[in-house]
Amino acid sequence: MKKVLTLGLAVLFTISFATATLAATAKEIGSGMGQKLTRGVVNAGTGWIELLKEMYNTGKENPLLGVTVAPIKGSAKTAVRTTAGGVEAGTFLFPVPKNYEEPLIEPETVFSGEGAR
């Protein structure tokens, strides 16, 4: 009887720690999934701003390049950001890249990083 009681307490002890660990992990996963989905939706919906941003930033340095070369570069950046956003939004259930943390494109959104004022 003593062995059964000891074994039962050991099992309860193990289960209580496992449950706490799984709950903490589930909360982190849920948070990561939400962050990835939000980032994806924002990038998919605001990718077109890359065109305007590129034209503005390039035009400050050289107005001629701002109306000739910048639309081409901006269009490419728009396509990349919109596609990355769609991929992240579509795959938010999966922990890819590692643990949902790393964005597919840098800066994380069009509003962060260089020239985002």
Q: What integer pLDDT is reported at residue 11 of this predicted model?
A: 54
Q: Report if residue 47 sits inside a domain.
A: yes
Q: Report if residue 18 sits inside a domain.
A: no
Angle (CA) 100 83 52, round 5°: 115
**pTM recorded for the entire structure:** 0.71
Q: What are 5-45's pLDDT values in tens digits? A: 676 555 555 554 444 444 445 556 667 888 999 999 999 99
Distance between CA atoms of 36 and 85, rounded to whole angstroms? Answer: 9
Q: What integer pLDDT is reported at residue 31 of this predicted model?
A: 76
Domain that holds residue 48: 33-100
Q: Report if residue 27 sits inside a domain.
A: no
Distance between CA atoms of 103 and 110, rounded to whole angstroms? Answer: 12
DSSP structural state of residue 23: H
Tally of domains within the chain = 1
Q: Report if residue 24 sits inside a domain.
A: no
Q: Report if residue 106 sits inside a domain.
A: no
Q: Report if residue 19 sits inside a domain.
A: no
Q: What integer pLDDT is reported at residue 101 of this predicted model?
A: 78
Indicate if the pLDDT at residue 2 is higher than 90.
no
Q: Report if residue 16 sits inside a domain.
A: no
Q: Report if residue 81 sits inside a domain.
A: yes
